[in-house]
């Protein structure tokens, strides 16, 4: 049976939820699923990977250079682990988008980006043109395939009855000195994570300022929801970049997505159209967001949001 | 640094509503406005600013694409690139082929920095820069929202899922750029006239010794699944009661 290598994404000893979705894609391809954990000390993350349903083996590669996820450092190790694997999969997060093409070039394989469906081990579907078109692509027999997996398109696998074995591996490589990690500004937040939250409230340009954008946070807190933003709101400085939903930001599929003051440009819609239920609140009745919303409400968001909060509490 | 190369892709303009052809063979391109991939335009703007600050002496716009791509390279020259090179290629370029072609140009010209968009808005592949860095065996910094020159290195702020990550990379290297890095300048009419006289060299993959390896075939193009339009509610109360009924809140 062919091997499928999944590259785990993690930070601070915690497995990123995207990995369970990539494993789901690997199971849809069919084969022996191995998950590689590259870290300075990957024991805790490897143990989390070992409990994912459908994982045959976890490969734990500890190296001091793997402290931070630098593509130039990780790619040669992934390329070594990928020898003999039919498929090499990573998440279509900024981590996977950075790393996987470098791996693909090293192993001389084609890469399919943002895989949204598996039709066969050689045939896949993926969106192009900001989701305005979907292509079905086929990779020639005998070729290794590298994929980034569109996590919004796959349900995370559950936990396995028994843990998979964890193999310690060492990969011979000389870590390049030319790339150095300096810092990451992860805003500490008790709010749900945008990429995995069941509910998301997003604000757009119509909020008008960073101060008024607090209305979005307030409604999100009432709903136990994560906060998102349109590109226009991020460009205007109302919300930080990590909240951007869309073609060039995060692509998400929560159960409930509430779009407030967002017109619904295709670049935004491509990031949220797989949501279960979409609610749109906008003062412009002609806004394209209403074309895809399950519930549309035309009105002044500054009047409506406090009213909705009160109604939710009652 | 001496030379900065900027990769410029010809794509359907950002504002065009892209439609799949009824026969599923591709998207409609007849009579459709073509432009520089907006991310690449930002990359070019950054290269020009680096040159204007004295951090670089020459900016070369490069592309892989059909003959018509000369239009986008002329725009790049009008924006301020010193010269341009087109690797003529009639088929839709695969990121692996693009990276191999750009690698050949980098070796030939001896560039110290390659700037390009983090993705092209047509195939949304997000691969070319990282692939080029791997072929070159040099550093990469993807999705840059700030670039500072520090001696022979760059300090690059990258937009990542967690927030902003800062990496330091030694030159030569590859940086792919994100939307918030800068706002590209408008092209003025006299610059368009001047650009006509700037050198634009045309070559091809064979002349560069690049062999194509494209094992992926597109079988079918389809429009995306459409969501059906839902209902309009009259007020906040109706909305909240509908959501409560569905167990969503």
**Which domains does chain A carry?**
3-168 (3.40.50.620), 199-313 (3.40.50.1220)
Cα angle B216, B221, B225; round to 5: 125
Q: With 70 as the cut, is the pLDDT of residue A188 above it?
A: no
Q: Tell me how long chain A is.
A: 314
Q: Is B200 at the interface with chain A, CB within 8 A? A: no
Q: Please name the residue of chain A whose CA is at the shortest distance from the CA of residue B39.
A: A248
* pLDDT-based confidence at residue B93 (cuts at 50, 70, 90): confident
> Would you call B134 and A75 a contact, using CB atoms and an 8 Å cutoff?
yes
Q: Is B230 within the bounds of a domain?
A: no
List the CATH number of the domain containing B174. Answer: 3.40.50.620
| Greater pLDDT, B91 or B196 | B196
Q: Left if phi > 0, otherwise alpha if psi is -120 to 50, otherwise beta: which for B177?
A: beta
On whether the CB atoms of residues A190 and A280 are closer than 8 A, the answer is no
Nearest to B142 by CA among B152, B131, B130: B130
The pLDDT of residue A140 is 97
CB contacts under 8 A, B 136-195 vs A, are 138-143, 145, 155, 158-170, 173, 178-180
| CB atoms closer than 10 angstroms to residue A277 | 18
**CA–CA separation, B33 and B72 (whole Å):** 11
| Residue B15 CA to its chain's centroid (Å) | 16
Q: Is B239 within the bounds of a domain?
A: no
ipTM of the complex: 0.96
The pLDDT of residue A191 is 85
Look up residue B212 and give its DSSP letter.
Answer: P
Residues of A in contact with B247 (CB under 8 A): none
Q: Is B82 within the bounds of a domain?
A: yes
On whether the CB atoms of residues A78 and A71 are closer than 8 A, the answer is no
> Would you call B27 and A132 a contact, using CB atoms and an 8 Å cutoff?
yes
* Gap from B168 CA to chain A (nearest CA, Å): 5
Query: Residue B233 pairs with which residues in a beta bridge?
Result: A297
From A182-196, A269-283, B181-195, B199-213, the region with the lowest mean pLDDT: A182-196
In tens, the pLDDT along A277-302 reads 999 999 999 999 999 999 999 999 99
> Would you call B139 and A72 a contact, using CB atoms and an 8 Å cutoff?
yes
CB contacts under 8 A, A 233-292 vs B, are 234-235, 240-242, 247-248, 250, 255-256, 266, 273, 277-279, 290-292
* Gap from B198 CA to chain A (nearest CA, Å): 32
Q: What is the mean pLDDT of chain B?
A: 96
pLDDT (average), residues A237-265: 95
* pLDDT-based confidence at residue B85 (cuts at 50, 70, 90): very high
On whether the CB atoms of residues B139 and B169 are closer than 8 A, the answer is yes
Select from A94, A257, A305 the residue whose CB has the most chain B CBs within 10 Å, as the one to mutate to test that interface.
Answer: A94
For residue B186 the two structure tokens come to 């408008």
Q: Per the structure, how many domains does chain B have?
A: 1
> Would you call A279 and B243 a contact, using CB atoms and an 8 Å cutoff?
yes
**CA–CA separation, B132 and A105 (whole Å):** 8
Q: Judge residue B161's burial from the number of C-beta atoms within 10 Å of its C-beta, 0-12 exposed, 13-18 middle, 19 or more buried.
A: buried
pLDDT (average), residues A168-187: 92
Sequence-distant (≥ 6) Cβ neighbours of residue A141 within 8 angstroms: A122
| Greater pLDDT, B226 or B137 | B137
In tens, the pLDDT along A99-143 reads 999 999 999 999 999 999 999 999 999 999 999 999 999 999 999
Sequence-distant (≥ 6) Cβ neighbours of residue A192 within 8 angstroms: A198, A199, A224, A225, A226
In tens, the pLDDT along B4-47 reads 999 999 999 999 999 999 999 999 999 999 999 999 999 999 99
Q: What is the mean pLDDT of chain A?
A: 96
Q: Is B245 within the bounds of a domain?
A: no
Q: Is B229 within the bounds of a domain?
A: no
**CA–CA separation, B235 and B237 (whole Å):** 5
> Would you call A250 and B221 a contact, using CB atoms and an 8 Å cutoff?
no
The pLDDT of residue A187 is 66
Q: Percent of chain A having pLDDT more than 90? A: 93
Q: Is B238 within the bounds of a domain?
A: no
CB contacts under 8 A, B 20-59 vs A, are 20, 27
* Containing structural domain, residue B130: 3-222
pLDDT (average), residues B183-191: 95
* pLDDT-based confidence at residue A190 (cuts at 50, 70, 90): confident
Q: Is B83 within the bounds of a domain?
A: yes
For residue A69 the two structure tokens come to 């996820």
In tens, the pLDDT along A192-230 reads 989 889 999 999 999 999 999 999 999 999 999 999 999
* pLDDT-based confidence at residue A304 (cuts at 50, 70, 90): very high
Q: With 90 as the cut, is the pLDDT of residue A243 above it?
A: yes
Q: Please name the residue of chain B whose CA is at the shortest distance from the CA of residue A231.
A: B179
pLDDT (average), residues A62-78: 97
Select from A135, A181, A257, A260 the residue whose CB has the most chain B CBs within 10 Å, as the one to mutate to test that interface.
Answer: A135
The pLDDT of residue A111 is 98
Sequence-distant (≥ 6) Cβ neighbours of residue B212 within 8 angstroms: B94, B97, B205
In tens, the pLDDT along B102-118 reads 999 999 999 999 999 99
pLDDT (average), residues A16-39: 97
Residue recorded with tokens 């065996």? B137
Helix and strand tally (H, E) in chain B? 7, 13
pLDDT (average), residues A140-150: 97
């Amino acid at each position: 049976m062919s091997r499928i290598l999944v590259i785990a994404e993690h930070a601070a000893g915690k497995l990123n939820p995207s990995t369970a979705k990539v494993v789901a894609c690997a199971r849809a391809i069919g084969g022996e699923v191995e998950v590689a954990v590259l870290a300075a000390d990957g024991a805790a993350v490897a143990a989390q990977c070992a409990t994912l349903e459908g994982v045959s083996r976890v490969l734990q590669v500890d190296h001091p250079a793997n402290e931070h996820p630098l593509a130039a450092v990780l790619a040669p190790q992934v390329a070594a682990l990928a020898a003999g694997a039919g498929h090499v999969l990573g998440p279509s997060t900024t981590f996977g988008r950075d790393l996987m093409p470098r791996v693909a070039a090293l192993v001389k394989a084609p890469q399919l980006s943002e895989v949204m469906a598996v039709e066969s081990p050689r045939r896949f579907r993926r969106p192009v043109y900001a989701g305005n078109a979907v292509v079905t692509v086929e990779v020639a027999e005998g070729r290794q395939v590298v994929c980034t997996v569109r996590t919004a398109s796959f349900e995370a696998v559950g936990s396995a009855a028994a843990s998979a074995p964890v193999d310690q591996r060492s990969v011979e490589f000389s870590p390049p000195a030319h790339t150095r990690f300096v810092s990451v500004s992860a805003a500490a937040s008790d709010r749900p994570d945008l990429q995995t939250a069941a509910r998301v409230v997003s604000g757009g340009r119509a909020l008008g300022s960073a101060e008024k954008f607090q209305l979005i946070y307030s409604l999100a807190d009432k709903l136990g929801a994560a906060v998102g933003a349109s590109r226009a709101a991020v460009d205007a400085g109302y919300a930080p970049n990590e909240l951007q939903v869309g073609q060039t930001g995060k692509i998400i599929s929560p159960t409930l997505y509430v779009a407030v003051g967002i017109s619904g440009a295709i670049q935004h819609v491509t990031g949220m159209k797989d949501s279960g239920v979409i609610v749109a609140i906008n003062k412009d009745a002609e806004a394209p967001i209403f074309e895809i919303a399950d519930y549309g409400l035309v009105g002044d968001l500054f009047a409506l949001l406090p009213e909705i909060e009160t109604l939710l509490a009652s | 640094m001496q030379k900065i190369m900027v990769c410029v892709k010809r794509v359907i303009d950002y504002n065009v509503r892209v439609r799949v052809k009824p026969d599923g063979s591709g998207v409609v391109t007849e009579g459709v406005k073509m432009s520089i991939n907006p991310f690449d335009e930002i990359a070019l703007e950054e290269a020009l600013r680096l040159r204007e600050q004295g951090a670089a002496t020459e900016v070369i716009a490069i592309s892989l694409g059909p003959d018509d791509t000369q239009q986008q390279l002329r725009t790049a020259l009008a924006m301020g690139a010193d010269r341009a090179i087109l690797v003529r290629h009639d088929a839709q370029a695969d990121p692996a082929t693009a990276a191999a072609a750009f690698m050949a140009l980098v070796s030939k010209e001896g560039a110290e920095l390659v700037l390009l968009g983090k993705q092209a808005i047509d195939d949304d592949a997000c691969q070319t820069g990282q692939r080029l860095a791997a072929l070159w065996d040099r550093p990469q910094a993807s999705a840059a929202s700030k670039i500072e020159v520090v001696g022979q290195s760059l300090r690059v702020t990258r937009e990542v899922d967690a927030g902003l990550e800062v990496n330091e990379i030694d030159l030569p290297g590859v940086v792919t750029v994100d939307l918030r890095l800068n706002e590209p300048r408008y092209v003025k009419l006299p610059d368009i006239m001047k650009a006509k006289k700037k050198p634009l060299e045309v070559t091809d993959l064979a002349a560069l010794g690049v062999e194509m390896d494209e094992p992926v075939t597109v079988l079918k193009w389809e429009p995306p699944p459409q969501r059906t339009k839902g209902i309009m509610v009259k007020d906040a109360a109706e909305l909240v009661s509908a959501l409560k009924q569905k167990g969503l809140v």
